[in-house]
Amino acid sequence: VAVAHTIGHVAATVSMSKVAVSFTHIIKSGEPAFSVLVSKLLLGEAFPMQVYLSLIPIIGGCALAAVTELNFNMIALTLLIEGFMGAMISNVAFVFRNIFSKKGMKGMSVSGMNYYACLSILSLLLLTPFAIAVEGPTMWAAGWQTAVSQIGPNFVWWVVAQSVFYHLYNQVSYMSLDQISPLTFSVGNTMKRISVIVSSIIIFNTPIQPNNALGAAIAILGTFLYSQYEGAYLSDGKGLSNWDVFTHKPGSTDDGSNGDVSVDQYHRYLEDVDLMEAIKVNSYRFSISWTRILPKGRFGEVNMAGIDYYNRLIDALLLKGIQPFVTLFHFDIPQELEDRYGGWLSPQSQVKHWITFNEPNQHVSVAYRKGIHPPCRCSGKFGNCSEGDSEKEPFVAAHNIILSHAAAVDIYRNKYQAEQGGEIGIVVHIDWLEPLSNSTADQLAAERAQSFSMNWILDPIIFGKYPKEMEMILGSILPKFSSNDKTKLNQGLDFIGINHYASFYVSDCISSVCESGPGVSTTEGLFQQTSQKDGVPIGELTPFEWLNVYPQGMKKTINYVKERYNNTPMFITENGYGNLYDPDNTNEEHLHDIKRVNYMSGHLDNLMASIREGADVRGYFTWSLLDNFEWTYGFSVRFGLYHVDFATQKRTPKLSASWYKDFIAKHKTESINIAHDSETRNNWNKQFKANAMLRTVSSEHRMKNLD
């Protein structure tokens, strides 16, 4: 790195000695293009097309800003070539320096400032012998005398001032490299050149033409576009996920948005932790973005900058007395794995609660059956996809996810759990499914519907086999567990995470003819799902067919899980109310979310009733802390306790945030008689302490708000 640093500075100095200052900087304005090229060829890193396109006005604008400088007409051809080559060599050298400096700073205790100080010392040691050999003391003395005679005795102070300011400039710029990507660093350097070009034109009295101003404006516009496209989703070495690629395709989200920045928790996590503290929550569930830790999946190195970020987030949470709940997979995987293997179609002590997967039952359905989430695979009547098999692939993907969960639990139990004293589980999406009638057929259909949804994932993990309803209907379509698989599945889990939002009626489609719809096909379970019975909704309907307000469904869901899985400890890991965002609403209307308050109140009442009756529920997370990027809905749906103005990223508490804060304060001291065994009573101290927990996806994801 020090060699590249030295060559870059020497080449740039030689270039400026041969040609006009502005010409050198025009050539050096191409540094971002070299950064992209070197990143691609040496590191295999790719960027969205918008990033590539935004570099065109940046580089072109810089060239236009000085293309009319009259000094160009006086440059001899030899000097022009020498100046051009010097600037080009400087570009290549500095790009190598930036990229490998960034890699060198990752995961190390050395800061950008100290790193540059080390480079300066090494560069001095490298350059001094070279300078002595090429020029020598005699040439130095002659050059010094010539400079003093032309400029005067103040030349000494000019040299000192230039050295100090040049060193400070580079040291400050390296402090920024510690926080941004090498490409962004190069873009910043190019914008610096706009100032240099304009300044040189003014200082050397070169006539200014409209092209100069127009070029500067174009470059500034290009930089603005780049800043919008690069976002946190590529910050600090993060790789592309399948959702990064998916959401940049037109029509992927309802409002055309993507999650590049979302709520920008990557840069605003301290502010968000303060918001959590303000409403007195004691736990926070977040996802680790796979591509932030392993940018290329199983290929390439661990991205220490990503690990450092999550460590900072965890430390900030613990400092405020907030326990982190960490999800390892929330729908996004490195695009590299998707490209090479087809995703799921191919077979630390501060954190006390680990979640392997979020909603695998939902994920495989929307990604491999309906094809509306990446990798967008489906077939036949299920959707319009270029490839896929909706009848088989969901079961293959789910099977591999279950085995991946078992492998992760096995590693955690054998290597970390004893030392960390933590616990590990999985999260499933569970709608309450009520028989449409009292008939035996509808009751069996409701049970079958749960087996093809929740039990599909939990039965193999807890019982070592798929539900009997699935085995009977699917036969050979359902993958089989080997004896080795079953041994790993014996590791089970420590808790079940429940994401619950809504309830539905279910009727039988084996002995009755059903209209087409979710659940009706053989591979979905031969049942029909509806939110109405004799024209009467099961609960208050919302603009979304998957969300309604039936608080009793919370208690019924908990009791079902309690009975089927022997009261395995549970967490309500997601529960919340979403509303369509109306940009014409006033700020007061955005903040007065009384329907969200009513939804939460009813569901929490039923949750506490379940606990009184003996259900081992150990906490509740509301979805979500902030309005955020809601997958294919984009920003058109809002779930947050805090309103987010995505133009400014300003967070403002809604009525629900105030209500939730009061609820937490009240139930921290409210005693509830829990019908558990003595050990559980001791663990809970005969109280339910409204484990006011929050969940948000970075964006990451995220984090997805993910983060």
Phi then psi dihedrals of residue 479, to 5 deg: -60, 155
Of 359, 469, 524, 700, which is the active-site residue?
359
d(CA 430, CA 553): 10
- Which residues lie closer than 8 Å to 202 by C-beta, 6 or more apart? 208
Q: DSSP per residue over 287-341, as a string?
A: E--HHHHSTBTTBS---HHHHHHHHHHHHHHHHTT-EEEEES-SS--BHHHHHHH
| Closest by Cα among 201, 170, 165, 196 to 185 | 170
Radius of gyration of the chain (CA): 31
Sheet holding 527-530, edge to edge: 432-435, 503-508, 527-530
Per the CB < 8 A criterion, the answer to whether 69 and 23 are in contact is yes
CA–CA distance from 351 to each of 324, 545, 690 (Å)? 6, 36, 20
Residue with tokens 């405020």: 320
Per the CB < 8 A criterion, the answer to whether 401 and 422 are in contact is no
Q: Extract long-range pairs of 370-379: CB within 8 Å, 24+ residues apart.
A: 372/632, 373/246, 373/331, 373/631, 373/632, 374/242, 374/243, 374/245, 374/246, 374/338, 375/242, 375/338, 375/342, 375/343, 376/246, 377/345
Question: Angle at CA 632, nearest 5°, toward 631 and 637?
Answer: 75
CB atoms closer than 10 angstroms to residue 257 = 18
CA–CA distance from 471 to each of 357, 403, 460, 467, 474 (Å)? 23, 18, 12, 7, 5
Which two three-digit tokens encode residue 632? Answer: 């294919």
Per the CB < 8 A criterion, the answer to whether 453 and 361 are in contact is yes
Per the CB < 8 A criterion, the answer to whether 224 and 273 are in contact is no
Burial of 647 (0-12, 13-18, 19+ CB in 10 A): exposed
Q: Which amino acid is at 441?
A: A
Phi then psi dihedrals of residue 403, to 5 deg: -65, -35
| Side-chain half-sphere CA neighbours of 59 within 13 A | 18
Containing H/E element for 352? none
d(CA 207, CA 309): 49
d(CA 642, CA 278): 12
Residue 574 a catalytic site member: yes
Burial of 587 (0-12, 13-18, 19+ CB in 10 A): exposed
Per the CB < 8 A criterion, the answer to whether 288 and 244 are in contact is no
Of 469, 574, 630, 700, which is the active-site residue?
574
d(CA 693, CA 481): 36
Q: DSSP per residue over 470-489, as a string?
A: HHHHHGGGS----HHHHHHH
CA–CA distance from 51 to each of 187, 223, 251, 682 (Å)? 11, 10, 19, 57
- Which residues lie closer than 8 Å to 520 by C-beta, 6 or more apart? 509, 514, 526, 527, 528
Residue with tokens 């003819």: 513
- Which residues lie closer than 8 Å to 619 by C-beta, 6 or more apart? 283, 571, 572, 691, 693
- Helices 77-105 and 182-203: crossing angle in degrees, nearest 10, is 140
Residue 545 a catalytic site member: no
Active site residues: 359, 574
